Structure 1
Amino acid sequence: MPARVTRRGLGLLGLSAAAPALAAPAAGGLAAIARARGITFGAAAQHSLLTGDAAYAAAFAAEAGLLVPEWEAKWADLQPEEGRFDTAPLDGLLSWAQERAMPVRGHALVWHNAMPDWLGRALAEGRERALSVMAAHFDKVLAHTRLRIRDWDVVNEPVANPPGSDVPQAGEGTLRDTPWLRALGPAYIDTALRMARERDATLRLTLNEYGIEEDTPDAAEKRRRLLDLLRGLLERGAPLDAVGIQAHLQLRRPFSPAPFAAFLAELRRMGLAVLITEMDIREAPDAPASLPARDALVAERAYAFVSTALEGGARSVLTWGLSDRYSWLRQEPAVALGPDRSHRGLPLDEEWRRKPMWQALARAFQGG
Structure 2
Amino acid sequence: MTAAHLGHRSGEVLVTVLDGDGRPLSHREVVVEQRSHAFAFGNIGFDLIALANAETDPLPSAFGSAAPERAVRLAGQWLEVFNTATLPFYWSGFEPEPGRPDTARLHRAATWFAERGCRVKGHPLLWHTLAPDWLRDAPLDEIEATVRARIRREVTDFAGVVGTWDAINEAVIMPVFRNEPRPNAITRLAADRGRVATVRLAFEAARAADPTVTLLINDFDLSTAYENLIENVLDAGIVIDAIGLQSHMHQGYWGEERTREVLDRFARFGLPLHMTETTLLSGELMPPEIEDLNDFQVPSWPSTPEGEQRQADEIVRHYRTLLAHPAVQAVTYWGLTDEGAWLGAPCGLVRADGTPKPAYDALQRLIKQEWWGDPATLRTDHAGQVEVRGFLGDYQLYCAGATVALAITAPGRALTTLHLKGTR
- Under a length normalisation based on structure 2, what TM-score does the superposition of the two structures give? 0.62
Contact 2:80 2:364 in 1 (8 A): no
Alpha-carbon deviations, 1:19-55, whole Å to 9, x = none? xxxxxxxxxxxxx99955x422221122125544322
**Which residue of 1 is the match for residue 134 of structure 2?**
118
1-structure distance, mates of 2:286, 2:101: 42
CA offset at residue 298 of structure 1?
1.7
1:180 aligns with 2:189: yes
**Which residue of 2 is the match for residue 200 of structure 1?**
210
Match among 278, 301, 310 for residue 314 of structure 2: 301
- Unaligned 5+ residue runs, structure 2? 1-32, 55-67, 180-185, 288-300, 373-424
Query: Which protein has the bigger strand share?
Result: 2
**Which residue of 1 is the match for residue 324 of structure 2?**
311
Contact 2:152 2:208 in 1 (8 A): no
Over the residues paired in the alignment, what is the CA RMSD in angstroms?
3.1
**Which residue of 1 is the match for residue 40 of structure 2?**
40
Q: 1:200 to 1:291 in 2, by over 3 A?
A: same
Matches within 5 A, 1:104-253: 104-122=120-138, 125-126=139-140, 128-160=141-173, 178-186=187-195, 187-212=197-222, 223-250=223-250, 252-253=251-252
CA offset at residue 240 of structure 1?
0.6
Give the counterpart letter for 1:284 in structure 2: L
Contact 1:206 1:241 in 2 (8 A): yes
Match among 73, 79, 95 for residue 95 of structure 2: 79
Contact 2:335 2:347 in 1 (8 A): no
> Which of 1 and 2 has greater Rg?
2
1:101 aligned counterpart, secondary structure = coil
**Which residue of 1 is the match for residue 10 of structure 2?**
none
Contact 1:322 1:348 in 2 (8 A): yes
1:324 aligned counterpart, secondary structure = coil
1:261 aligns with 2:260: yes
**Which residue of 1 is the match for residue 74 of structure 2?**
56
Contact 2:44 2:86 in 1 (8 A): yes
Contact 1:307 1:367 in 2 (8 A): no
1-structure distance, mates of 2:34, 2:313: 19
Contact 2:90 2:124 in 1 (8 A): yes
Give the counterpart letter for 1:193 in structure 2: F
Give the counterpart letter for 2:264 in structure 1: A
1:110 aligned counterpart, secondary structure = coil
1-structure distance, mates of 2:129, 2:256: 31
1:284 aligns with 2:289: no
Q: 1:35 to 1:346 in 2, by over 3 A?
A: farther
Give the counterpart letter for 1:178 in structure 2: T
Alpha-carbon deviations, 1:238-264, whole Å to 9, x = none? 1111112222112x3462323431332
**Which residue of 2 is the match for residue 103 of structure 1?**
119
2-structure distance, mates of 1:349, 1:205: 33
Give the counterpart letter for 2:339 in structure 1: R
Amino-acid identity (%): 25
Q: 1:66 to 1:184 in 2, by over 3 A?
A: same
Give the counterpart letter for 2:82 in structure 1: A
CA offset at residue 323 of structure 1?
1.4
CA offset at residue 121 of structure 1?
2.2
Q: How many residues align?
A: 295
Contact 2:81 2:363 in 1 (8 A): no
- Unaligned 5+ residue runs, structure 1? 1-31, 162-167, 171-176, 213-222, 331-342
2-structure distance, mates of 1:359, 1:188: 42
2-structure distance, mates of 1:228, 1:290: 38
**Which residue of 2 is the match for residue 215 of structure 1?**
none
2-structure distance, mates of 1:247, 1:285: 14
Query: Which protein has the bigger helix share?
Result: 1
Alpha-carbon deviations, 1:315-357, whole Å to 9, x = none? 3222222112232242xxxxxxxxxxxx432222223333221
Relative contact order (C-alpha < 8 Å, sep 6+): which is higher? Answer: 2
